[in-house]
Amino acid sequence: MAGYSYRYCWHCDIGGGQHLPRKNCLLMNFKTRRLLSSDSRYIIVVLAPIILLIAFFIYYPAINTFQTSQTNFNLRIHREQGKAKFRGFDNYVKLVEDEEFWEVTGRSFKVVIITLPLEMAVAFGIAMLLNQRFPGRGVMRTLTILPWMLPGVVNGFLWGWLLNGEYGALNGFLYQLGLISEYQYWLREPDHQLFWVTVVQTWTRYAFPTIILLAGLQSIPEDLYDAAKVDGSNALSRVRYITFPLLLPSFGIALVVEFIAAFQIFDVVWTLTAGSSAGGAMNPFTKTLMLYNYELVFRDLRVGLGAALSYIILVMSLFVGLIFVWRVYNQGVQEQ
């Protein structure tokens, strides 16, 4: 058309070949829309099964458990009499008013208070060692995670054999060294039982914080240590003013995970002192919250009360975990 001026895009391979911005190109816009459309379909196809599985195996049981916690559901009674009755938050109130609940809660926190410092100290020392260069470091790193790879039940049975008062390997080793004159029953006294539970839990779980702290150590620039050495800083000062502050986020992650593991301890206690070692009976001296929950649901069949206890344990774990994140992790991030 005479007097009509227009530009063509060289992307479209037509006309005068003048370059237009990408957003004004018809062909590129078409390709982009088609690409976005295919990406969206791919994301839906990949994520939809995962979302459905998570909803079915995690969220639906969680919602169903919360609904059950608001009923008086008891398998001994309602298996014959019919549907359980709605009780609101009566189960929660009943648990909070129960002395045994506070007793096992205090024992669970006692396990946490003893286990966490032990785990963090052992993990930090091993991580510092494995961060050094020496022959066989790869083999040592592999051996470090072996206790963590074994199930807690296996570790519990293993330590139950080591601590056995009649044929235990620990007694045999100490007797050969002349440190004891007769075999000791290490798991006889209630205080000793809880102590050994914390030792076995530390043995079982120390590898995870070791991995987290080792990753944090490898992310610290070597230039900081070189500058500190030039300034005359000794090894202890470098650990105090460089290593430890920069590892606070890693400590925060490790503390949250290990608090949950120690607070919800079950397998180690059951195999070491409460189940197999006690002939299947529930040991009152090492009963923690998770064993109390097991007792309510699987022995007494008070499913509604056990469901309420599960949510109380969840709320406690989240509350303390958020404190660790807020105080330790965020402080470390701010200092960096």
- What is the DSSP-derived secondary structure letter of residue 188? S
CB-based contact 292:107 (threshold 8 Å):
no
Per-residue pLDDT of the chain in tens (336 residues, 90 and over written 9): 444 444 445 444 444 444 445 445 545 555 555 555 666 777 777 888 888 999 899 899 999 999 999 998 888 776 655 678 888 899 999 999 999 999 999 999 999 999 999 999 999 999 999 998 888 888 888 888 888 888 888 998 999 899 988 888 999 999 999 888 889 889 888 888 999 999 999 999 999 999 999 999 998 888 888 888 888 888 888 888 889 888 988 998 899 999 999 999 999 998 888 654 444 567 888 899 999 999 999 888 899 999 999 999 999 999 988 887 777 666 655 555
The predicted model scores a pTM of: 0.79
- Dump the DSSP string for 16-75: T-----GGG-HHHHHHHHHHHHHHHHHHHHHHHHHHHHHIIIIIHHHHHHHHHHTB---H
CA distance 72 to 223: 63
Q: How many residues does the chain have?
A: 336
At 203, which helix (H) or strand (E)?
Answer: helix 190-205
DSSP 84: P
DSSP string, 118-140: HHHHHHHHHHHHHTS--TTHHHH
Q: Which residues pair with 86 in a beta bridge?
A: 71
Start-to-end C-alpha separation, the chain:
66
How many whole angstroms separate alpha carbon 159 and alpha carbon 193?
12
Rounded Cα distance, 273 and 277, in Å: 5
